[in-house]
Amino acid sequence: MHQIWENLIPNLVDLWTDNFKELDLSNAPFRLPPDVWEAIGADCGASGNTIPSAFGRRVPNIATTRTEFTAEAWCLFTLHLAPALLRKRFRDKAYYVHFMELVQLLELCLQFEISTEDIGRIRTGFAKWVNDYERLYYAYDPERVSMCPLTIHSLLHIADSIEAMGPVWTAWEWPMERFCGFLLRAVKNRRFPYAAIANYLVDLAQLAQVIHRYNLRDMRPGAAVLLMPRKVEVPSLMETKIAQCLATRYTVSMAVARRHVQRPGAIAQWGKVQRIDGGDLMHAADLVSRPENSRDASYVRYEQLVDRYARNHRKTPEFEPGQFYGQLLRIFVLEIPPDEELGTAQPETVVLAAIKTLQVEYPPDVRMPFYRKDGPIEVVDLQSIQCLVGRVYDTQRKWWAIIDRSGPYAQAQFTELQTSA
């Protein structure tokens, strides 16, 4: 896949910016005006503050610091930023549609598991994409034959390679590059570098065995750890939202729920939460200060049951899972005692999250949620939070695109070496 990130995508950018092999493309329908490209670059660079570090390194300004782009940066730009930033930028919509077809094929290639049907879709999809590329860019003009380099033809062989070797992640270069970088940090003695590396790996292996021997990793599905306790006042609005959540949870009146919320010391607050099975570390925005130019890790995707017939009160409610997005504001822990009114026979610990909802829209031409405005604050069960999401702001249209790696967007991710067996 490196040839795609370091050859194919840069070549497309060169075509869009009239910088491809000294060809005169100033009047080409796919050329983006300099001011448009500068705006895209500025939004691209600014996205580093609104995309969590869990997504990868910051993507530089593609208009001014393109030389700093690595394969990882090109990957993040292509899959997550470009679908939002290139939308409605071309004079002819066909070029954006063509690019999005490439993004969908790449997402399919990067799936952790690939079926025989998927391989067929990849094969026919790339064949169509190459034919469309020749029609839209090359335009069958002999003067433009340099637009058809070997990297375009190589796309036709990706399906065969996957069929022979397995999913793309089994053969790409990133694992070895990450592992070499990991070992490099272990070298503390220039005279005996290999001894230092060997000792470091032995220490890691021993630590992994201790963890395995004494079962020190809690791998329960959805298990999480709370971090950064905060002793601050709970706003009255939040108390009301918590009472509403408890009233629904235990099917009691607001008066009963309020009594439990307003008990002295009833609510503890925490600033961070992380799933201990390798999940994202999420920050509560109201309780964790974020320094300037730091990366925002407070926006999340969460699930709630919604009534399919909520607008028709005459129908019997039928609930189904719904996907929502918002900003995590606070984390609450409530110790619920045995209580006859609540129907609790044993003490219970309830962990809740206050989330500022987002008024999300789904444009028909891109598989990304967008939003312009915030919605109301709601308090939900912390377990309903699924993962972190990133955001990129489109200064031209004054809206945010939400970058969600989960669900159908999930791909293989190679992170730092873990000390687990």
Residue 325, CA distances (Å) to 55, 384, 403 in order: 17, 11, 11
Residue whose entry in the numeric block shows the structure tokens 């490209």: 37
Q: Is residue 402 part of a domain?
A: no
Q: Is residue 409 part of a domain?
A: no
Instruction: Report whether pLDDT(108) > 70.
Output: yes
Same domain, 154 and 179: no
Same domain, 8 and 118: yes
Q: Is residue 327 part of a domain?
A: yes
- Supply the mean pLDDT for the chain: 88
**pLDDT of amino acid 220:** 53
**pLDDT of amino acid 57:** 87
Same domain, 186 and 250: no
CB 84 within 8 A of CB 20: no
The pair of three-digit structure tokens given for residue 263, joined into one six-digit string: 């008990």
103: left (phi over 0), alpha (psi -120 to 50) or beta: alpha
Residue 392, CA distances (Å) to 115, 289, 372 in order: 32, 21, 12
**Contact partners, residue 162, CB within 8 Å, separation at least 6:** 109, 114, 119, 122, 168
Of the candidates 82, 47, 66, which has an alpha carbon nearest to the alpha carbon of residue 6? 66
Q: Which helix (H) or strand (E) holds 377?
A: strand 370-381
Same domain, 241 and 367: yes
Residue whose entry in the numeric block shows the structure tokens 């407070």: 298
**If 0-12 CB within 10 Å is exposed, 13-18 middle and 19+ buried, where does residue 379 land?**
buried
Instruction: Report whether pLDDT(304) > 80.
Output: yes
Q: Is residue 18 part of a domain?
A: yes
Q: What is the pLDDT of residues 209-238, one digit of tens each?
A: 998 888 776 555 557 889 999 999 999 999
Buried b (16+ CB within 10 A) or exposed e, 345-355: eeeeebbbbbb
Q: What is the three-class DSSP state of 92?
A: coil
pLDDT > 90 in the chain, percent: 61
Q: How far apart are CA 188 and CA 55, in angstroms?
A: 29
Same domain, 259 and 188: no
DSSP assignments along 60-78, one per residue: P-TTT-GGG--HHHHHHII
Mean of pLDDT values over 325-346: 92
The domain boundary residue, chosen from 184, 213, 242: 213
Same domain, 295 and 209: no
Q: Which domain holds residue 178?
A: 174-213
Q: What is the pLDDT of residues 125-155, one digit of tens each?
A: 999 999 999 999 999 999 999 999 999 999 9
**pLDDT of amino acid 367:** 82
Compare 415 and 170 and report the one with higher pLDDT. 170
CA atoms within 13 A on the CB side of 44: 27
Handedness of CA 28, 33, 36, 37 (dihedral sign): positive
Mean of pLDDT values over 114-129: 95
Of the candidates 419, 418, 415, 347, which has an alpha carbon nearest to the alpha carbon of residue 72? 415
Same domain, 157 and 186: no
Residue 20, CA distances (Å) to 15, 23, 24, 31, 395 in order: 5, 6, 8, 11, 27
Same domain, 232 and 312: yes
Same domain, 85 and 145: yes
CB 70 within 8 A of CB 372: no
Mean of pLDDT values over 105-114: 90
Residue 309, CA distances (Å) to 214, 245, 306, 316, 319 in order: 50, 21, 9, 8, 8
Same domain, 243 and 264: yes
pTM: 0.85
Q: Is residue 335 part of a domain?
A: yes
Q: Is residue 418 part of a domain?
A: no
Q: What is the pLDDT of residues 359-387, one digit of tens each?
A: 999 988 888 999 999 999 999 999 999 89
Bridge-based pairing of strands 390-394 and 267-275 is: unpaired
**pLDDT of amino acid 407:** 53
Q: Is residue 191 part of a domain?
A: yes
Report the number of distinct structural domains present in the chain. 3
**If 0-12 CB within 10 Å is exposed, 13-18 middle and 19+ buried, where does residue 101 land?**
middle
Q: Is residue 237 part of a domain?
A: yes
Same domain, 270 and 205: no
Same domain, 194 and 260: no
